[in-house]
């Protein structure tokens, strides 16, 4: 692995300061910065090198002394600094006059086509002022990638860019990663096809948005899944929730969006499927897909249709499934388990409703051979208008975590309440069954003859996405 990273840091006062200007040592006198991150990305689609700038502001009336500026990585950092004309990993006692500022110019050079380079090259510049510690991150992408930057700004909507789709089809091949800033949009009438093994990274707050009459087809495989995650790849962020926003899918009246062997992790919402203009009967299809570690919801729908097979939704700060304003849902051999540990969770894992201010749309939800578990005593909340058969739900041969009366056969058939699924290691998102699992051999025959790993199910099948073996 070889790459060259040079950082040139030029510190210059914008105005001279009086020799007798008083220096404040007040701990409230902190620095402000033009940004919390110096980020390089377009460098990798051009010549491999570019310069960016950072401004340090002293918004106090008196002079401050920055007692220390240093690289967190020290001499072992991939970055190099030149501070006030002196190269090195640190500097001390830098003065900034009251209501003045300081420019920092940062240069980075990498070999973006070196496949052995780490995807992210990063460090932090740490500032010490009057006992306060502040930092600005240095982030560069060590490999080339496809980048999407916003160019459209509409009131009430996130900033976005439209994915180029020659012939109305955008085809993402597995040649290099895809990095999305803010939102990337699949336009109406267009399709996004994603090949096996593709990795999609979202910068903070980013997301993927499929407009009405657009569609997305994710064609992962068991050995080459398609991954959607944040762009911070340090070990600390590997399973950290809330790093990006969501995948947002609107209605399509002629064809379905599909996720096959996809991993969607560490966002605010995994998939939001929402009707914006008109009702559609074309379902979103989830096959052998894992959605985990959402700071909000795993799957959030508004009057939508979803078919899910061998799918795992796990560890969300709010709901795993939030079905609102009705819709049609069919889940078979799915593992839905909420063991959220990143904070206190009060919302039940499963919330179904079919109310709005004007009407009560129909809701039809069927779960077959599924595990629906969590850490709360009651993991289900139903807010349904059932008049005229509008609010229907059926758990057929499922494990449930609930205190509700499950004797009504219109809603519960052969259910197992508050049993132990005995997962391999839920703290590590490993939902394979162990030999102690109650789910083994409790299922009924379906057309789903293989599990999420494509291991053949033997009758009677086990509950959930995994067959024990």
What's the chain look like in SS3? CCCCCCCCCCCEECCCCCCCCCECCCCCCCCEECCCEEEECHHHHCCCEEEEEEEEEECCCCEEEEEEEEECCHHHCCCCEEECCEEECEEEEEEECCCEEEEEEEEEECCCCCCCCCCEEEEEEEEEECCEEEEEEEEEECCCCEEECCCECCCCCCCEEECCCHHHEEEECCCCCEEECCEEEECCCCEEEECCCCEEEECCCCEEEECCCCEEEEECCCCCCEEEEECCCCHHHCCCCCCECEEEECCCCCCCCEEECEEEECECEEEEEECCCCCCCCCEEEECCEEEEECCEEEEEEEEEEEEECCEEEEECCCCEEEEEEEEEEEECCEEEECCCCCCCCCCCEEEECCCCCCCCCEEEEEECCEEEECCCCCEEEECCCHHHCEEEEEECCEECCCCCCCCCCCEECCEECCCCCEEEHHHCEEEECCCCCCCCCCCCCCCCECCCCCECCCCCCCCCCCCC
Contact predicate 248/192, CB 8 Å: no
Identify the pLDDT of residue 437: 98
Residue pLDDT tens, the chain, 469 long = 333 344 434 333 434 444 568 999 999 999 999 989 888 765 555 445 566 778 899 999 999 999 998 988 888 777 777 777 777 778 899 999 999 998 888 777 676 666 656 677 888 999 999 999 999 998 887 777 898 999 999 998 899 999 999 999 999 999 889 999 999 999 999 999 999 999 999 999 999 999 999 999 999 999 999 999 998 877 788 999 999 999 999 999 999 999 999 999 999 999 999 998 888 778 999 999 999 999 999 999 999 999 999 999 999 999 999 999 999 999 999 999 999 999 899 999 999 998 875 666 889 999 999 999 999 999 999 999 888 788 899 999 999 999 999 999 999 999 999 999 999 999 999 999 999 999 999 999 999 999 999 999 999 999 999 999 8
Identify the pLDDT of residue 294: 98
Identify the pLDDT of residue 278: 81
Identify the pLDDT of residue 49: 57
Contacts of 118 (CB under 8 A, 6+ apart): 1, 142, 143, 233
Identify the pLDDT of residue 42: 56
Contact predicate 424/396, CB 8 Å: no
Euclidean distance between CA atoms 46 and 100, whole angstroms: 35
Query: Against a cut of 0.85, is the pTM above it?
Result: no
Identify the pLDDT of residue 231: 87
Identify the pLDDT of residue 307: 98
| Burial environment of residue 430 by CB neighbours within 10 A (0 to 12, 13 to 18, 19 or more) | exposed
Identify the pLDDT of residue 277: 83
Residue 209's alpha-carbon distances to 212, 267, 281, 441, in angstroms, are 10, 14, 20, 40
Identify the pLDDT of residue 465: 98
């Amino acid at each position: 692995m070889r790459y060259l990273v040079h950082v040139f840091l030029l510190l210059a006062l914008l105005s001279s300061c009086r020799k007798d200007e008083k220096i404040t040592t007040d701990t409230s006198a902190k620095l402000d910065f033009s940004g919390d991150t110096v980020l390089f990305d377009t460098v990798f689609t051009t010549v491999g090198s570019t310069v960016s700038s950072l401004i340090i502001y002293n918004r106090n009336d008196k002079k401050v002394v920055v007692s220390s500026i240093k690289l967190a990585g020290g001499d072992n950092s991939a970055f190099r600094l030149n501070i006030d004309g002196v190269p090195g990993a640190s500097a001390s006692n830098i003065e900034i006059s009251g209501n003045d500022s300081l420019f920092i110019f940062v240069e980075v050079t990498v070999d973006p086509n070196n496949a052995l380079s780490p995807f992210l090259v990063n460090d932090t510049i740490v500032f010490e002022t009057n006992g306060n510690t502040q930092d600005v991150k240095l982030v560069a992408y060590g490999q080339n990638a496809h980048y999407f930057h916003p160019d459209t700004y509409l009131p009430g909507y996130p900033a976005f860019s439209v994915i180029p789709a020659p012939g109305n089809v955008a085809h993402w091949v597995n040649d290099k990663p895809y990095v999305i800033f803010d939102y990337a949009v699949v336009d109406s009438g267009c399709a996004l096809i994603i090949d096996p093994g593709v990795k999609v990274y979202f910068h903070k707050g980013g997301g993927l948005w499929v407009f009405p009459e657009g569609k997305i087809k994710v064609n992962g495989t068991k050995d080459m899944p398609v991954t959607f995650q944040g762009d911070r790849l340090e070990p600390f962020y590997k399973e950290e929730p809330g790093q990006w926003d969501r995948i947002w899918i609107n209605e399509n009246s002629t064809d379905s969006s599909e996720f096959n062997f996809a991993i969607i992790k560490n966002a605010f919402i995994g998939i939001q499927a929402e009707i914006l203009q008109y009702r559609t009967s074309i379902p979103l299809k989830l096959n052998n897909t894992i959605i985990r570690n959402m700071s909000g919801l795993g799957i959030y729908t508004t009057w939508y249709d979803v078919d899910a097979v061998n799918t795992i939704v796990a560890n969300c700060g709010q709901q795993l499934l939030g079905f609102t304003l009705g819709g049609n849902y069919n889940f078979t051999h799915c593992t839905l388990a909420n063991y959220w540990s990143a904070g206190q969770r009060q919302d039940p894992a499963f919330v179904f409703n079919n109310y709005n201010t004007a009407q009560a749309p129909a809701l039809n939800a069927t779960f077959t051979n599924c595990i629906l578990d969590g850490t709360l005593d009651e993991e289900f909340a139903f807010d349904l208008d059932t008049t005229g058969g509008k609010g229907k739900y059926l758990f057929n041969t499922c494990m449930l975590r609930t205190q509700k009366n499950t004797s009504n056969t219109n809603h519960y058939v052969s259910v197992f309440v508050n049993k132990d699924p005995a997962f391999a290691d839920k703290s590590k998102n490993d939902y394979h069954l162990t030999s102690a699992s109650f789910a083994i051999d409790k299922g009924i025959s379906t057309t789903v003859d293989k599990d999420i790993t494509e291991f053949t199910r033997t009758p009677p099948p086990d509950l959930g996405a995994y067959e024990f073996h």
